Structure 1
Amino acid sequence: MSRWIEPVTLEGEHIKLVPLTLDHEAALAAAAADGELWKLWYTSVPAPGTTRAYIETALDMRDRLGAHPFAVIDPKTGDVVGSTRYFNVEAAHRRLEIGHTWYAKHVQRTALNTEAKLLLLGHAFERLNAIAVEFRTHFMNHQSRAAIARLGAKQDGILRNHQIGKDGAYRDTVVFSIIESEWPAVRTHLKHRLDR
């Protein structure tokens, strides 16, 4: 069976995205520990002792639903510094979402995220011929919402009571997207941000 998204490594000056495997378990746990990221109640960063299950879930999404999870590597050190993935893949409609993205505290607000999005969006629009790429985040995750808007994505709307969290609280999800006609301007914008 042919898959729309085949395993791929994406590499730039500030970041390397490699297919996530169980071999990344210890390094991913260490990255999550930098800033104790699992304590942010509106994120899905693996808490201590749950990294293997986190990776297994990502690999299950890959096998059953056509997702593609990545380990995020800092090429200067070789360290795993986070994770991201293509998911909510709709191959027939050439749409996908970029999400489940998180980075160790020491690399947040660096060129790493900008270049990651440049590589992921470039692959989606230029290699996969996607017509739209979505980003979704918790309504209360203001840092993530601002970061998505800085990419050049436009807010499509808010899905109210979209999901039920582990604690039983309802999640309102903010949906953003970039469509194929917007990609050239977004690409120029991201490259300009990297050059600065």
Structure 2
Amino acid sequence: MNINTQPTLGNDDLQLIPLQESDFEALYETASDEKIWEQHPNKDRWKRDVFQLFFEGAIKSGGAFKIIDKKTGAIAGSTRFYDYNPSDNTILIGYTFYATCYWGKGLNPVVKHLMLDYIFQYVDSVYFHVGASNVRSQIAITRLGARKVREEDVAYYGEATRHNFVYQITKEEYTGKQATDKA
């Protein structure tokens, strides 16, 4: 099955648009806030050279998005689909970050539901890598119904390997939620 891992997704408030190489400067402007990366596995991603590697990995993944606030036109963050495995019909969602002005506003569940509503048309299970020290993201992912299934070291593109928790949600477990909910 051929899955489009970079569709345009959205609702009244936000849009997930396939990330392009020309988006680097605008996305880096959002990502250059040191606070965003405090709990992420690589705390230096706010630095231009480190973010450049992150961005290159995003482009090469073939599943990365910029998240646009439709009311302001601002880039709210980024996320991606990656590592589709046709043999067990799974995919990963991750590498997500948001500008701090969107924290606590309900953006993450809306983004994840847009992605899950779409991808569960094609796969049976979705995994999420979450940094072992990223408590904020661990809480957020369990609120979506994902459960921790293991721990593993993840080799990040151009970065050091980091310890992650792996969460999973299956198509059967996913209760869904209208992605039209307000962000």
What residue number does 1:48 align with?
Answer: 47
Q: Which letter does structure 1 place at the counterpart of 2:56?
A: E
**Kindly tell me: are residues 117 and 167 of structure 1, through their superposed partners in 2, closer, same or farther at Cα, counting changes over 3 Å?**
closer
Question: Which residue matches 1:137?
Answer: 130
AA aligned opposite 2:17: V
Q: Distance in 2 between matches of 1:7 and 1:100?
A: 15
* 8 Å Cα contact 1:137/1:174 also seen in 2: yes
Alpha-carbon shift at residue 139 of structure 1 (Å): 1.3
Match status 1:175 vs 2:166 = yes
Q: CA deviation at 1:58?
A: 1.6
Please state whether the residue corresponding to 2:172 is helix, strand or coil: helix
> 1:10: which partner in 2?
9
Question: Closer, same or farther in 2 for the Cα pair 1:108/1:43, shift >3 Å?
Answer: farther
Match of 2:79 in 1: 84
Tell me, what secondary structure is at the counterpart of 1:182? coil
- The 5-angstrom pairing of residues 30-179 of structure 1 reads 30-34=29-33, 36-40=35-39, 42-43=41-42, 46-50=45-49, 51-62=51-62, 68-126=63-121, 129-159=122-152, 162-163=153-154, 171-179=162-170
Decide which moves more: 32-41 or 79-88. 32-41
Q: 1:44 to 1:34 in 2, by over 3 A?
A: closer
Indicate how the Cα distance of structure 1 residues 172 and 33 shifts in structure 2: closer, same or farther if over 3 A, else same.
Answer: closer
- What TM-score, normalized to structure 2? 0.84
Contact 1:35–1:104 (8 Å) recurs in 2: no
Report the CA distance between 1:101 and its aligned residue. Answer: 0.3
SS of equivalent residue, structure 2 residue 72: coil
Cα distance per residue 1:69-101 (max 9 Å; x no partner): 001111111111211000121133221010000
SS in 1 for 2:81: strand
- What's the secondary structure of 1:181's corresponding residue? coil
Tell me, yes or no, if structure 1 residue 22 matches structure 2 residue 21.
yes
**How many residues are matched?**
181
- In the alignment, structure 1 segments of 5+ residues that lack a partner are 63-67
Structure 2 unaligned blocks of 5 or more: none
Compute the displacement of 1:52 (Å). Answer: 4.1
- How far, CA to CA, are the matches of 1:182 and 1:36 in structure 2? 33
Taking the aligned partners of 2:80 and 2:54, their CA distance within structure 1 comes to: 12
The AA in structure 2 aligned to 1:60 is K
Which fold has the larger relative contact order, with Cα–Cα distance below 8 Å and residues 6 or more apart in sequence?
2
What is the TM-score of this pair, normalised by structure 1?
0.79
Structure index of larger Rg: 1
Q: Secondary structure at the match of 2:45?
A: coil
Bigger fraction of residues in helix: 1
